[in-house]
Amino acid sequence: MAEKPITGEKKAFMTGNEVVAWAALCAGVDIMYGYPITPQNEIMHYWTRLVPKHGRKFMQTEDEISAGFTTLGGVMAGKKAFTATAGPGNVLMQESMTMAEMMRIPSVVVVQQRGGPSTATVIYAQQEVTMTTLGGNGEGFRVVYSTANHQELFDYTIKSFNTAWKYRFPTFILGDGYQAKMRDSVVMYDPEERGIQMVPTEPFVGKPGCPGQDRAPTHLRNTYNIEEELEEVVLQYLADYKKMAPEIVEYETFATEEDCDILLVSHGIVSRAALAAVKTLREQGMKVGYFRPITLRPFPVKELQKEASKVGKILVAESALGQFNRLVKEALYGMDKAPQIVELFRPGVGITDEEIMKKTKEVL
Amino acid sequence: MRIVEAYIGEYASGKSEVAVNRAVFLAREKRKITIVDLDLVEPCYTLRRLKKLLNEQGIEVIAWETEELLGLGETGALLHPSMRWALQKSGDIILDIGYGVYGAKVLNLLEGAASDPDLRIYAVINLGRSMTSTKEEVLEYLRTLGRVDGLINNSHLGEQTSKNFLEQASEIMEEVSEIVAIPIIATTVTEEMAAYLSKSYTHPIWPLQRYMHNSFW
Amino acid sequence: MSENLMSIQPSMPKCWNIATKPHKFCPGCGHGIVLKCLGEAIDELGIQERVVFGCDIGCSLLAWDFFACDTIQTHHGRTTPVMTGVKRAVPDRIVIAYMGDGGGYAIGSQHLFNSATRNEKITAILVNNTNYGMTGGQMAPTTLPGQKTETCPYGRDLENDGYPTKGPEAVAAITPEGAYIARGTVAKPRDLKKYIKKALETQLNGTGFSFVEALSGCPTNWRTNAADTWNMIEKKMTEFYEPKELKVPGKEG
């Protein structure tokens, strides 16, 4: 049994990409598959340096289609495997991720969002929300964690393997180019020392015994013959998904127990600016609340409805043209009196707390 | 005496911050100084955005303009021709050398680096970085760098820097320095960290002002 | 009479876009030489007006405004299919798919090999500098055994990372008669230009797929001085990649 990479706690000063590589190491990942694309390359640069020291593996594939499918192969072989990508690479991974949805394969993919559509910028955006939550030709049977800082990148990368292997839905960490490259201190730890039960992997193929003799052979497929057969499978997955959702939904609120005239809703790194804005505005006597979904899938629907029912307006801030807002609107549907939505959309551009405060003051 | 210093080090070790501060210091001593941006692997914190600020302090900056590279879709790990000939400039030269598997070999890209008598190569080490956090790791890392003339102790943990950490870091650096027989040129400290310095150091302390957080992309 | 030296322009192919010169490729980069050979070939064949030039993601991207020819910058690896699409729709165009190692042998390989085996009447030019330059020097299909890059920091290990790709050999094996396949090197620009010209002539004659790989240098990511750069291109790379014509229309293999 290989030595643990970290015992106790280790404080370090790192970039987000490095945090992901180290978190994967601490989570016990056996193998990473990947293809170069900015801004996630340092995940691979660091994983390849850690590999020989810790007895893990790495494969550089010919492209992201392959990276996605090789990851599925590794997972089905029973190993903890993941890949990382961004932008156009994420587009290519949709095909493999639909296979993961259909076959309930516990894949983990780290996405460091960059500008879109197409090649756009290599820097930053929140424009891969639609694709990561609802991409491919599926029904969105995915888990997506939207992180906001380095400590979360560490914590949730480890968590994503447990979520994936426990519930068997493809799981994503949705970061961005800013988180990937910014430097910050982080506390790394061995999850088991902190009481986090690591969910064991198990092979889909290659279970012990000779197939046909000691056990039934494993026959896996993702195609179906008739419509009703498909419907049955998909509805069963929906039931599983709905059952799992309350166990893994995560969100954050601030100042919502008090009177609120407006609720600021955001995710990922933008929520840091939103939280700072709310704190400042409260000090200035304004009645503002903060709501941040941490899981974009499953979305904290009733939790958002609860907070949204207390306000007349919500401000949705995102570095995209309404991709997150679309999830918000869907979540608000069915409310007796849904609040008015004010939009602060900056596609591909970072949003500061000053901008959020300015917009809030304009509409109140 | 001409000062030519190349700052190399691991990814995010603080090379650029140290290089910029050194250039600012030399400019304040009224020396003619040029700083060269040699970050060639996915540069995101770069000197480009600090050009105007540094020019105002009398420092010439050899770096791409952000606008020249933006719009090309990828970061641009490009060498500007003037970087190649940087060592021919009169006055002092500070080279900010980005990370990479080849360590200090970036200097091969500069005309005259191999024979420049004034060139000093300084390795910037931050013991708060996970790949250089113990004596053994730092020694292993130094072995990959090639020629190193001096060490810069730039150890910190960002907001989490503690007195204990700084003291341990400096002890480790002193041990390393003795083992590899390379002197510690300086320990760098920000204003916040200065309060934690209790022991007396046998080498210079360089005060550090943070510039690089304004230089993102 | 003294002449202002800045007013003497270096000689450039007519089809080059003067407005974007000097170009942004690194000092010592092989792209400049390949594009000069290509530019001269276009001039000599008189096809500037008919050319549609496609470039990939990576350093070839820097060629997007390089020529005074209509250009499309595509996605990584997709230059071949986009150019194929243009040619199929308007066969009178002379299409050039310009890419690097990744664009041709990794993410673009399925397109390259399929266009080749269908004998598409396009010209593909691939610049081989054994790494992914623009993104900071990761391993490429053409990285040599033992060579260090950011994603094989301890050197390319044949067991784990596989063998380097011999692209022209593979393409020559699967293309039918009428195709032109060659590997040139920036160390021999006259030969390289000859191969590129013959490739374009193959497209003009409409006999088949034409492909030229150009061995090229990347001192920036190799971190090599001039002498070591040429040593890599002329000696180390040619141990693995032989410059020669592999297939010429009308000539037996």
Tens of pLDDT, residues A264-273: 999 999 999 9
Nearest to C54 by CA among C144, C115, C118: C115
Residues A167 and A65 in one domain: yes
pLDDT number for residue C1: 44
Q: Which segments of A106-142 are extended strands (E)?
A: 108-113
- Chain C: touching chains (3 or more CB pairs < 8 Å): A, B
Q: What is the arithmetic mean of pLDDT over A153-170?
A: 98
Per-residue pLDDT tens over the stretch C205-249:
999 999 999 999 999 999 999 999 999 999 999 999 999 999 999
Mean pLDDT of chain C: 94
Mean pLDDT of B33-61: 87
* Cβ contact B41–C136 (<8 Å): yes
Q: Say if CB C144 and CB C237 are below 8 A apart.
A: yes
pLDDT of res. A2: 61
State whether A62 and C141 contact (CB < 8 Å).
Answer: yes
* Residues 115-134 (C) with a CB less than 8 A from some CB of B: 133-134
Q: Once rounded to an integer, what is the mean pLDDT over residues C91-110?
A: 97
User: Between chain A and chain B, how many beta carbons pairs sit less than 8 Å apart?
Assistant: 68
A neighbours by CB contacts (3+ pairs under 8 Å): B, C
Handedness of CA B146, B151, B154, B155 (dihedral sign): positive
A150 and A256 within one domain: no
Residue B203 near residue B187, CB atoms below 8 Å? yes
Cβ within 8 Å, pair C106-A88: no
Total domain count, chain A: 2
**What pLDDT is recorded for position A216?**
94
pLDDT band at B103 (very low <50, low <70, confident <90, very high): confident
pLDDT at residue A203 is higher than 80: yes
- In this structure, chain B runs to a length of 217
Using CA atoms, how far residue C101 sits from A95, B102, B188, C127, C142, in Å, is: 24, 21, 43, 6, 7
Distance CA C132, CA C149 (A): 9
Q: At what angle do helices A41-54 and A16-26 cross, to 10 degrees?
A: 30
- Across the range B93-115, mean pLDDT stands at 87
Q: Which two tokens stand for residue C201?
A: 């002539």
pLDDT value at residue B204: 92
Q: Determine the Cα–Cα distance for residues A249 and B24; give it in Å rounded to an integer.
A: 50
CB–CB of A184 and B158 under 8 A? yes
φ, ψ of residue A144 to 5 degrees: the values are -130, 120
Q: What percent of chain B stands above pLDDT 70? A: 95
Using CB atoms, which chains have 3+ pairs under 8 A with B? A, C
- Percent of residues, chain C, with pLDDT higher than 90: 89
Give the least confident one: A145-159, B93-107, B125-139, C50-64: B93-107
Q: Does A1 have pLDDT greater than 50?
A: no
- Residue A48 is nearest to which of C102, C132, C151, comparing CB atoms? C151
Residue C77 in contact with partner chain A when CB distance is under 8 A:
yes
Q: Within a 10 A sphere around the Cβ of A291, how many other Cβ atoms?
A: 28
What is the tens place of the pLDDT at every residue in B172-203?
Answer: 999 999 999 999 999 999 988 888 877 778 88
**Domain count across chain C:** 1
User: How do strand A171-176 and strand A108-113 relate by DSSP bridges?
Assistant: parallel
Where among A171, A194, A217 does a domain terminate? A194
Structural domain boundaries enclosing C59 = 26-247
Which letter, b or e, does each residue of B39-62 get, where b requires 16 or more Cβ atoms within 10 Å of its Cβ?
Answer: bbbbbbbbbbbbbebbeeeebbbb
Report the gap between the CA of C131 and the closest CA in chain B (Å): 13
Question: Inter-chain contact B74–A122, Cβ cutoff 8 Å?
Answer: yes
The answer to the question of residue A231 being in a domain is no
State the smallest CA–CA distance between residue C7 and chain B in angstroms.
Answer: 20
In a domain, C252, yes or no: no
Integer Cα distance of B153 and A87 in angstroms: 38
Tokens of C65: 């405004």
Residues A109-135: what's their mean pLDDT? Answer: 95
Residue A1 lies in a domain: no
Residues of C in contact with B42 (CB under 8 A): 135-136
* The pairing of beta strand C123-128 with beta strand C210-215: parallel
A7: CB partners within 8 A, 6+ apart: A190, A193
What's the rounded Cα separation, in Å, for the pair B99 and B149?
A: 18
Residue B97 in contact with partner chain C when CB distance is under 8 A: no
Residue-level pLDDT at A356: 97
Q: For A68-91, what is each residue's pLDDT tens digit? A: 999 999 999 999 999 999 999 999
Contact C138 A41 (CB under 8 A): yes
DSSP state for residue B110 in the 8-state scheme: S
- Residue C82: predicted pLDDT: 96
Q: pLDDT by residue (tens digit) across A96-105?
A: 999 999 999 9
* Cross-chain Cβ contact C107/A119 below 8 Å: no
pLDDT at B99: 80
**For residue B47, what are its two tokens?**
């000197």
Task: Give CA angle at A96 (A128, C105), nearest 5°.
Answer: 95
C151 and A60 in contact by Cβ < 8 A?
A: yes
Q: Which residue in A has a C-alpha nearest to residue B133's C-alpha?
A: A12
Give the closest-approach CA distance of A45 to chain C in angstroms.
5
Over its C-alpha atoms, chain B yields an Rg (Å, rounded) of 17
- A174 pairs with which residues across the strands? A111, A146
Residues A163 and A272 both lie in one domain = no
% helix, strand, coil for chain A, step of 5: 40, 20, 40
Tell me whether residues A48 and C57 touch, CB distance under 8 A: no
Range of the domain at A95: 9-194
CATH number at residue A145: 3.40.50.970
Whether residue A257 is found in the same domain as residue A351: yes
pLDDT, chain A, mean? 96
In degrees rounded to 5, what are phi and psi of residue A362?
Answer: -65, -35
Residue A232 lies in a domain: no
CA distance C185 to C231: 13
The CA dihedral of C107, C110, C112, C118, to the nearest 10 degrees, is: -170
User: Given an 8 Å threshold on Cβ–Cβ distance, is B130 in contact with A188?
Assistant: yes
Is residue C21 included in any domain, yes or no?
no
A175 in the same domain as A85: yes
The answer to whether residues C123 and C95 touch, using CB atoms and an 8 Å cutoff, is yes
* CATH entry 3.40.50.1700 includes domain B4-211: no
**Sequence-ordered list of residues with C-beta below 8 angstroms from that of C177, at least 6 positions apart, any chain:** C208, C249
Cβ-Cβ contacts under 8 Å, B140 against chain A? none
- Whether C131 is in a domain gets the answer yes
The shortest CB-CB distance from C154 to any of A52, A60, A88 is to A52
With a cut of 80, say whether residue B68 has pLDDT above it. no
The DSSP secondary-structure symbol of A361 reads: H
Confidence of residue A184 (pLDDT cuts 50, 70, 90): very high
Element (DSSP H or E) covering residue A82:
strand A81-85
Q: Between these two residues, B81 and B119, which has the higher pLDDT value?
A: B119
Partner residue opposite A41 with nearest CB, options C75, C76, C136 = C136
pLDDT (0 to 100) of residue C4: 55
Cβ contacts of C139 on chain A, cutoff 8 Å: 60
Q: Is residue A218 part of a domain?
A: no
A187 and A256 part of one domain: no
Check whether residue A33 and residue A107 sit in a common domain. Answer: yes
Chain A residue set in contact with B, beta carbons under 8 Å: 10-15, 18, 22, 38-39, 41-42, 45-46, 49, 119-124, 178, 181-185, 187-188
- What are the distances in angstroms from CA C75 to CA A289, C79, C101, C251? 42, 7, 14, 35
Residue A262 domain-assigned (yes or no): yes
For the cut 70, the answer to whether the pLDDT of residue A207 exceeds it is yes
Q: Residue ranges of the alpha helices (H) in A27-115?
A: 41-54, 64-76, 87-103
How many Cα atoms within 13 Å fall on the side-chain side of residue A254? 17
Provide the CATH number for the domain around residue C219: 3.40.50.970
